[in-house]
Chain A
Amino acid sequence: MGTELAFDALADPVRRQILGVLAERAECSVGELVENIDSVGRTGVSSHLRVLRAAGLVTERKAGRFRYYSIDPTGPARDVIDMLHSLFQGALADAGRAADARGKTTDRDIRSA
């Protein structure tokens, strides 16, 4: 898999958008992707998916007549998106814990006041 291709594949805003939609869920059909992408129709989405697959960013699963797409679990996009998700979710979890601790202190202060 050429990472060179990955950079070229990511240079297109529609392809980044497709990747963004896929980053939100485990798997998508072409139809679901088309619903979430305004700028191009079904044909456009399909051709962008071909580029993303060739770049090793997206994988395809066939089930009967249907095809489902997801971010390639072995590709560079998955690594970066997973890292960012855990980075931001971790930050909010830390904030939640700190808020809980502070909320309890505030409750105690109010009760003892």
Chain B
Amino acid sequence: MPALLLHAEQWTAAPRGVTFGLFGAGAGAGWVFDAVCDRVETGSAVSLRAPLGGADVVEIIGRIGALRPEEYLEIVHDQPWRGRIKLRFRPDRGGTTVRLVAELDESGLEWLLRRRGFPAGRRESPNPRLGLLTSKSGPGNLFAAATDNLAALALEEVNAEGGIHGRPVELVVGDDATDPAVGVAEARRLVRAGCRTLLVATTSATFVAVSRALTGTDVLVVQTLMNEGGESGRLRLQYGERPEDQLATAAARMMRAAGGRRWFLAGNDYCWPRSTHAAARQVLPRFGARLVGERFAALGTQDFSPVIEAILASGAEIVLSTFVGADAAEFQRQGHRAGLGKRCLTLAPAMDESTLQRVGPDAARGLYAVSGYFEQLPTAGNDALLTRYRSEFGRWAPPLSTLTESVFEAVHMWWSVARRVGAEEPKLIADEMRRGRFELPRGTVTLSGGDSAVQPLHLFEAKGTAFALT
């Protein structure tokens, strides 16, 4: 698809090797060259902090998609929009000319217009619209890296099957910036655009705020990913993995692997980590666990040393980490540097494959997660999904995780009902989904009337930057 191309060029007296060598070196060489990556090599996870003006700094995350030393470097990125930044180096007038080409797609332009404060809306459409609220910026950008892709893939599939009553479904995407107040404003915008169902794949903090803000409106709000429950009503659905089930699946095996029973609870300070810790106090002692400490840190924390010191001092053998997104990665990396990995194993129920890329293979040793899906899950449905995903979005597209794959499944679940009752009937859609039993890439998910669901859960362990069954 043609995209907007932006060009920039710069000459320097420095030789090509010196200029190229600045990339990723953290040498104060501007926001592009000061890209953060563990290694400058093809496939490495990379993040750039782009100063959009004023105090607004946005993180661009992706991977190094191509590299020819001293000649060419290409960053393929997924957040906050999908695009590429290409850098070409050539010897010129005794120095080096660097040429940069940045690609911007439609969604990127739309995102930027909105971020720059231009009022946003869309004209009415005769087609049904489905809303997706995700995190394209803020610390949630990491775990949500594949969310848009998976929603787009599912939409393509349902539209190829005739959409709803012969009309293609349009996806309208909102960015909560990992902030509940922004999430509410974005949710309202999606509703104004005509969405009668919102799929929310953000932190629970945003989901709860959106759920309450939309009380009394005839809009179905679905939390697709793992959650603590608690938002009741005919038009609310939260069927993702629940902390008590995840902990019950993992507890005994974690203690066997760690050779100890002492747990420390550490996480971000909002509703899901707090609820997960409350569940841990209920569930873990039933398996003979002892809880030896608890700490919280605000979402967006940079320095985790107080938490890490408290864990080291507690003598814990297992850390229940309920940090999410960029915070989870940073906590794991700082813990590794402080020697936490030698002392304890970590169970991080919300650790996802995108975040694991940033954790890196060293700091990921001894890290476990528990959920209904991981990218290497050996089911026929998942094999087929991965093949389609890679052929559509390429080799360097961000990995799938339970958090993002849940969005693919939610689109299909929604459509399987909406195609019969119509997209304009959110109450009927909710009722039917609640009664549903769905065959999905993760396996069979049964909603059985209540708001929680029954699905197979798995404990898995980080091996390098992927997960494997234990």
A positions within 8 Å CB-CB of B: 3-8, 10-11, 13-14, 16-17, 19-20, 23-24, 39, 76-77, 79-81, 83-85, 87-100, 102-103, 106
Complex: A96 Cα to B13 Cα, angstroms: 8
CB-defined contacts of B302 to chain A, threshold 8 Å: none
Q: In the complex, are the beta carbons of B2 and A94 less than 8 A apart?
A: no
Q: Do B29 and A7 touch across chains, with their CB atoms under 8 A apart? A: no
Q: List the 8 closest A-B pairs by CB distance, nearest first.
A: A94-B30, A103-B14, A98-B29, A92-B10, A99-B14, A91-B32, A91-B30, A88-B8
Task: Say which residue of A13, A19, A102 sits within 8 Å of B27 (CB atoms).
Answer: A102
A98–chain B nearest beta-carbon distance, Å = 4
Known contacts A3-B113, A91-B33, A106-B18; decide if A96 and B6 are in contact (CB<8 Å).
Answer: no
Contacts of A102 on B, CB cut-off 8 Å?
A: 14, 18, 21-22, 27
* A80 partner, pick from B31, B116, B121, beta carbons under 8 A: B116
Chain A residues closer than 8 Å to B27, beta-carbon distance = 98, 102
Does B457 lie at the interface of the complex (its beta carbon under 8 Å from any beta carbon of A)? no
Known: A4-B123, A11-B106, A23-B4. A96 touches B12 (CB 8 A): yes
Residues of B whose CB lies within 8 Å of any CB of A are 1-15, 18-19, 21-22, 27-33, 50-53, 95-96, 98, 100, 102, 104, 106, 109-110, 112-113, 116, 118-123
The answer to whether B6 touches A91 (Cβ under 8 A) is no
The contact sample of 14 A-B pairs, CB cut-off 8 A, is A3-B119, A7-B120, A20-B4, A20-B5, A76-B116, A84-B6, A87-B31, A94-B30, A95-B10, A96-B10, A97-B29, A99-B29, A100-B12, A100-B13
Distance of A6 Cα from B22 Cα, bound (Å):
39
**Contact yes or no, B116 A83, CB < 8 A:** yes
- For the complex, give the distance between the alpha carbons of A83 and B116 in Å: 10
| Overall SS of chain A's interface | helix
Q: Which residues of A contact B8 (CB under 8 A)?
A: 85, 88-89, 91-92
Q: List A contacts of B12 (CB < 8 A).
A: 95-97, 99-100, 103
Distance A96 CA – B14 CA, assembled complex (angstroms)? 8
For A24, the chain B residues whose CB sits under 8 A away are 7
* CB neighbours of B110 from chain A (8 A): 7, 10
Residue of A nearest to B53 (CB): A83
Task: Please report the C-alpha to C-alpha distance between residue A19 and residue B104 in the assembled complex, in whole angstroms.
Answer: 12
Does A99 contact B5, Cβ atoms closer than 8 Å?
no
- Chain A residues closer than 8 Å to B15, beta-carbon distance: 103, 106
Rounded to whole Å, the gap between the CB of A75 and the closest CB of chain B is 9
Expressed in whole angstroms, the minimum distance between the Cβ of B172 and any Cβ of chain A is 10
Please give the distance in Å from B84's CB to the nearest CB on chain A.
13
Residues of B within 8 A of A99 (CB): 12-14, 18-19, 22, 29, 96
Most buried by B among A11, A81, A94, A100: A94
Smallest Cβ distance from B62 to chain A, in angstroms?
16
